[in-house]
Structure 1
């Protein structure tokens, strides 16, 4: 028997590849299926089942493409109603893979179809558990995502999740290995540990959600501090449930080089969004007007999902040469399938033809310290939790996640400084502000991490001494 965790850091996502004898199973695959097909070919095994723990909201699964390419059956837990052929398991149903077995445990609460898959080894021992978004390391799946689909309140769903944990998971042996669907950094939870594998006994000791004295306490603690989910979550869940265009078609359509002249025409004649995926250090020096910068070398896909409202919006890419395929792949993971082409030769080709360009005014932390005064207006786009821990005195906290809510409050006649933690998020914000005609600001390179090193600015760790929006 072999169990492999295939972890994708930019999505904080764990897929699982299980082999016994000449058969295999894959749990919660990502959109692009070639890595799984390569493993199957290398091991000379047949994929028998594709297990889905639930209808995922934070990424588009590869279940449909993988099933079409291998003939493997897609398996969901009880109550799932997909719009494609799938096996809907009963609670406690057993599936055999070689000499091992997978037992389906229906564990609703995160979503109503959510299920946990319990692995029983060749000797009949319950060995490992693939918990999806029911149980994370240090946390549980947020119970506020399935409200519209179920007509249940988040309190109702949290109570259902409590019962699932108490009756299905906590009674199991402490030595069972926990393989969660996500790790730290995922928006599907709020308190996840950095580790990606643990044993159940340790989670019983360290996971706050498993240590609540009663259901009411569990509901209160699990719901406390939850922020609004990213806007693309609902669209991804709908794609996972209803079906989607094949990844191969998405790649063939998007991997289309466009000349400068054609790019300019398409951008002018359509509503296509120009997405520039270069790093902030290059982007700020020059870019095509109205481009939005979300750097590929960062939490690219989640920020695309958070910043671009509609997954169907047509997208034109400006990327470093040679990265276009990776960009399209990572966009497809969160459902953005409508890339209609990329600028051939990248921004350099645009610049060589003396086309119009724009830029972001950026200064170093040392320059910021020199220009700082008590009257200076500062906008900090980090999350509230980061801001609460430490921030520049009197800075406004306007998290990037909610820029569509606060951008209309900006007074363009008053200069302000803009920063995040390291410069990635503030450049996203800067590009969006510029595209809305807000230009009277200066972005700080290196963000708060660089600002602190100057040791010249007043720093506070009390929210009440500053301002939030």
Structure 2
């Protein structure tokens, strides 16, 4: 038996490859399926099942394409009603895979079709669960995403989740391995661990939502408390996962390489968004006017989903050399399929062609000390929780996620500074502000990590415990 977790950092997502005696199951695959096909070919095996733990909201799964390429059935748990052909498993249904079995445990609460898959070894011993978004390490799935589809409140869904955890998962032996769908950084929970593999026993001991003496009322209150609004792209991803989508290979092949002058013409004619995914320092030194920065080496896909509200928006890319296909693929992972092309030769080709470009002023945090004494405006674009933990005295919270709601607070007639935790998000904010005409924005290089090394006055709050 072989179990491989295929973890994608920018989505904080775990897909799983399971093999026994030449038979293979894939759980929650990413949209680009060639790596799974390659693994199966190398093992001289056959993909027999494609298991989906639920209709994912934070990424587009590869189930449809993988089924088309292999003929393997897509398996969902009870209550799933996809538009494509799939096997809807009964609660407790057993699937044979070589010498092992995989049992579908219906665990509603995160969504109504949420299902945990229990793997038993060749001796019939419970070995591992693939818990999807039902159970994370350190947390459980948020119960507010499926309210509309389920015609239930988040409190009602949380109550179902409580029952699922206690009747289907906490009854398992402590040594059963837990393979969750997500780790820290995912918006599908609020307290996820950085670890990506754990055990039932560890979770009973450390996960706040699995306390042995916890009442259902306490569970509902604690799981629903402090939930931030889900990213705007989540419903669109659920729709694609439920109804189907285009093969990502077609999207890659349809994107064209444009010379600088043609790139500019296409951008104007199509009203495309020019998305620059290079490093923030490179963007600061020079970029196409009105382009938006979201770096490929940060939390790229989630920030695309949070900030580009129209998933059908035509997109033109400026990428580091050789990373065009990767960028198109990573956009498609979260449902952004309308990449019409990219700048051939990258930004250097743009400059060599003598095309107009813009810059962002980026300064060291030490410069900020005197500016604050002079009452120059400073804005903190980190998340509310980061701000509440510690921030510069008298500096307002203007989270990047909700930047458009704060536009009236940014001055257009004088310089102002923006910072995040390390410099990635503040450059995104600066690019958005410049595209909207705020050319007096200045980025604080290194963000709050650099600010903490200065003598700038800061204030911290101790958040009250919810336990």
Q: Find the residue that maps to 1:453 and give its secondary structure.
A: coil
User: Aligned equivalents of 2:451 and 2:412: distance in 1?
Assistant: 24
Q: Find the residue that maps to 1:75 and give its secondary structure.
A: strand
Matched, 1:386 2:375: no
User: Aligned equivalents of 1:47 and 1:361: distance in 2?
Assistant: 52
Query: What is the 5 A alignment of 1:112-131?
Result: 112-131=112-131
Matched, 1:227 2:228: yes
Deviation, 1:374, is 5.8
- Counterpart position of 1:361: 361
Deviation, 1:441, is 2.3
User: Aligned equivalents of 2:245 and 2:408: distance in 1?
Assistant: 35
- Counterpart position of 1:105: 105
- Counterpart position of 1:458: 457
Mean alpha-carbon deviation: is it higher for 389-398 or for 74-83?
389-398
User: Aligned equivalents of 2:381 and 2:229: distance in 1?
Assistant: 16
- Counterpart position of 2:75: 75
Query: What is the 5 A alignment of 1:249-260?
Result: 249-254=250-255, 256-260=256-260
Q: Find the residue that maps to 1:130 and give its secondary structure.
A: strand
Query: What is the 5 A alignment of 1:130-149?
Result: 130-149=130-149
Deviation, 1:414, is 4.4
Write out per-residue CA displacement over residues 51-96 of structure 1, whole angstroms, 9 at most, x where no aligned residue: 0000000000000111111111100000100000000000000111
- Counterpart position of 2:63: 63
- Counterpart position of 2:335: 335
Deviation, 1:463, is 8.8
Instruction: Answer whether contact 2:434 2:441 (CA < 8 A) is retained.
Output: no
- Counterpart position of 1:415: 415
Query: What is the 5 A alignment of 1:176-215?
Result: 176-211=176-211, 213-215=214-216
- Counterpart position of 1:237: 238
Write out per-residue CA displacement over residues 395-430 of structure 1, whole angstroms, 9 at most, x where no aligned residue: 111110111222244332343210001110000000
Instruction: Answer whether contact 2:23 2:48 (CA < 8 A) is retained.
Output: yes
- Counterpart position of 1:467: none
Write out per-residue CA displacement over residues 158-198 of structure 1, whole angstroms, 9 at most, x where no aligned residue: 11111111111111111110000000111100001111111
Q: Find the residue that maps to 1:284 and give its secondary structure.
A: helix
Q: Find the residue that maps to 1:124 and give its secondary structure.
A: coil
Q: Find the residue that maps to 2:296 and give its secondary structure.
A: coil
Matched, 1:296 2:296: yes
User: Aligned equivalents of 2:72 and 2:460: distance in 1?
Assistant: 54
User: Aligned equivalents of 1:375 and 1:217: distance in 2?
Assistant: 46
Instruction: Answer whether contact 2:258 2:343 (CA < 8 A) is retained.
Output: yes
Instruction: Answer whether contact 2:77 2:88 (CA < 8 A) is retained.
Output: yes
Query: What is the 5 A alignment of 1:32-43?
Result: 32-43=32-43
Unaligned runs of 5+ in 1: 465-469
Instruction: Answer whether contact 2:433 2:441 (CA < 8 A) is retained.
Output: no
Mean alpha-carbon deviation: is it higher for 426-435 or for 168-177?
168-177
User: Aligned equivalents of 2:51 and 2:101: distance in 1?
Assistant: 13
Instruction: Answer whether contact 2:80 2:113 (CA < 8 A) is retained.
Output: yes
User: Aligned equivalents of 2:462 and 2:405: distance in 1?
Assistant: 21
Mean alpha-carbon deviation: is it higher for 287-296 or for 432-441?
432-441
Mean alpha-carbon deviation: is it higher for 256-265 or for 71-80?
256-265
For the aligned residues, what is the CA RMSD? 1.3
- For these two proteins, the number of residue pairs brought into alignment is 462
Mean alpha-carbon deviation: is it higher for 406-415 or for 20-29?
406-415
Q: Find the residue that maps to 1:444 and give its secondary structure.
A: strand
Deviation, 1:369, is 2.5
Unaligned runs of 5+ in 2: none
User: Aligned equivalents of 1:440 and 1:272: distance in 2?
Assistant: 25
User: Aligned equivalents of 2:321 and 2:201: distance in 1?
Assistant: 48
Write out per-residue CA displacement over residues 11-55 of structure 1, whole angstroms, 9 at most, x where no aligned residue: 111111111101010000001111111110111100000000000
User: Aligned equivalents of 1:310 and 1:441: distance in 2?
Assistant: 26
Instruction: Answer whether contact 2:257 2:342 (CA < 8 A) is retained.
Output: yes
